[in-house]
């Protein structure tokens, strides 16, 4: 097999993985794909694999990053307070028909650099409000969904500026293939084994009865309270109909939900955050009773502040995720400038909405009941990386036991 055919074989396996393991499409199930211009060849293969797997109907919603940039530069201010009702309805179509949603990313991390942060903030809020029912279905695992990424030239240029231009995209392809286990003889079996390993770790954490986590590292001194009914989960989820899916590919995390008002101290980022076409880096957040009371950043501070101001819940945390420093993506030494990858190389937290599935019976709780249990609500959910090779985390159990959870960036249990 020559190099071209070997590459095409890997691309096909990746498409099959996205369909059969990522969204795990079922017979007669509709599929909605969101993808940027430039990914057409890959998306065409994904669509074929979806129909081969029994999909009823596959709809692709394309978007063009250059047009998006022009829109942010030239549209009237009031436009960013709106979201098309027909597009919100299309997303709800997926929910109504218990379809599947696949997001394919190839984004330029600097796409919206220099754009008025208020425009980004207002559109984030408008779209979040309009898509509330769709995002709630995502958060409650009511539909199967997954996110995968493939290279674009601008993304590869950002990740590998030291390489000759012609080598950047192929190198990024290789790193992505490795991160999603396409380089394994049987990627599907490799994923099953990997998810079992993560599930075992989540079960171990669930058996401890943790009440509080204490984080210590350079620039980080943070305590996070966990609800007595919290559950540690992995990237493998299941719909009410029993359809298994993997929301993020790659995934290396086990995660749960903090008590909204139970976060205190200071935390420092350890990797840049690529957020809405901007890069935020070197930032420090201070929490008092769950709320971010101070925020500073070496790069993108105004964008960070606007993110935190999106709504009331954007100033609180919605997720706590544990990822050992010695993990495949971290060991690669590559900074991806893409949260899908970088969050799986590092312990991370998320600003904004929580996943109700991380609380016992959380997916059947009303909004009022979720609030009573300390779950955060917001139109945003933005992961940021805080892990390092020197981070220590201790857990205190409800019975008073103190247990080392992480030592020097890796599992201690």
The whole-number pLDDT of residue 162 equals 97
The whole-number pLDDT of residue 342 equals 95
Closest C-alpha among 228, 247, 224 to residue 236: 247
Q: Which uninterrupted H or E stretch holds 177?
A: helix 165-179
**With bands split at pLDDT 50, 70 and 90, how would you rate the model's confidence at 3?**
low
Residues 6+ apart with CB under 8 A from 149: 104, 105, 106, 107, 176, 338, 340, 341
370-373 LR contacts (CB < 8 Å, sep 24+) = 373/227, 373/229
3-state secondary structure at position 110: coil
Q: Is the pLDDT of residue 397 over 60?
A: yes
Q: Is the pLDDT of residue 361 over 90?
A: no
Task: Give the mean pLDDT of 231-255.
Answer: 96
Q: Which uninterrupted H or E stretch holds 9?
A: helix 3-17
Q: How far apart are CA 289 and CA 267, in angstroms?
A: 14
Q: How far apart are CA 91 and CA 176, in angstroms?
A: 28
3-state secondary structure at position 135: helix
- Phi (first) and psi of residue 321, to 5 degrees: -130, 140
Q: Is the pLDDT of residue 104 over 90?
A: yes
The whole-number pLDDT of residue 373 equals 84
- Phi (first) and psi of residue 196, to 5 degrees: -65, -40
The whole-number pLDDT of residue 362 equals 82
Mean pLDDT of the chain: 95
Q: Is the pLDDT of residue 237 over 90?
A: yes
Q: How far apart are CA 182 and CA 252, in angstroms?
A: 15
């Amino acid at each position: 097999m020559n190099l071209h055919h070997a590459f095409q074989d890997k691309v096909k396996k990746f498409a099959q993985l996205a369909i059969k393991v990522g969204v795990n499409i079922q017979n007669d199930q509709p599929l909605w794909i969101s993808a940027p211009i430039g990914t057409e060849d890959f998306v065409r293969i994904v669509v074929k694999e979806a129909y081969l797997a029994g999909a009823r109907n596959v709809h692709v919603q394309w978007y063009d990053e250059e047009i998006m940039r022009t829109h942010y530069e030239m549209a009237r201010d009031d436009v960013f307070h709106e979201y098309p009702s027909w597009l919100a309805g299309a997303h709800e179509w997926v929910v109504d028909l218990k379809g599947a949603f696949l997001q394919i990313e190839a984004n330029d991390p600097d796409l919206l650099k220099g754009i008025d942060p208020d425009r980004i903030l207002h559109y984030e809020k408008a779209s979040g409000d309009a898509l509330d029912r769709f995002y709630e279905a995502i958060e409650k695992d009511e539909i199967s969904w997954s996110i995968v990424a493939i290279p674009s030239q601008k993304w590869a240029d950002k990740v590998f500026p030291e390489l000759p231009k012609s080598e950047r995209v192929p190198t990024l392809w290789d790193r992505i293939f490795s991160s999603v286990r396409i380089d394994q003889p049987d990627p599907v079996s490799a994923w099953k084994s990997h998810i079992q390993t993560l599930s075992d770790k989540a079960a171990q954490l669930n058996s401890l009865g943790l009440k509080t986590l204490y984080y210590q590292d350079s620039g980080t001194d943070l305590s996070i309270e966990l609800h007595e009914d919290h559950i540690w989960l992995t990237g493998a989820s299941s719909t009410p109909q029993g359809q298994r899916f993997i929301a993020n590919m790659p995934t290396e995390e086990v995660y749960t939900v903090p008590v909204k008002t139970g976060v205190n101290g200071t935390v420092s980022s350890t990797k840049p955050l690529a957020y809405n076409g901007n890069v935020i880096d070197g930032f420090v957040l201070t929490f008092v009773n769950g709320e971010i009371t101070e925020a500073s950043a070496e790069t993108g501070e105004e964008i960070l502040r606007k993110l935190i101001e999106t709504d009331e819940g954007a100033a609180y945390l919605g997720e706590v995720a544990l990822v050992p420093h010695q993990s495949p993506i971290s060991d690669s030494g590559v900074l991806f400038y893409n949260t899908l990858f970088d969050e799986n190389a590092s312990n991370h937290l998320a600003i904004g909405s929580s996943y109700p599935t991380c609380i016992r019976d959380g997916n059947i709780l009303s909004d009022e009941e979720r609030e009573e249990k300390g779950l955060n609500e917001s139109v945003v959910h933005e992961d940021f990386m805080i892990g390092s090779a020197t981070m220590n985390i201790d857990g205190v159990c409800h019975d008073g036991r103190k247990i080392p959870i992480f030592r020097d960036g890796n599992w201690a249990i």
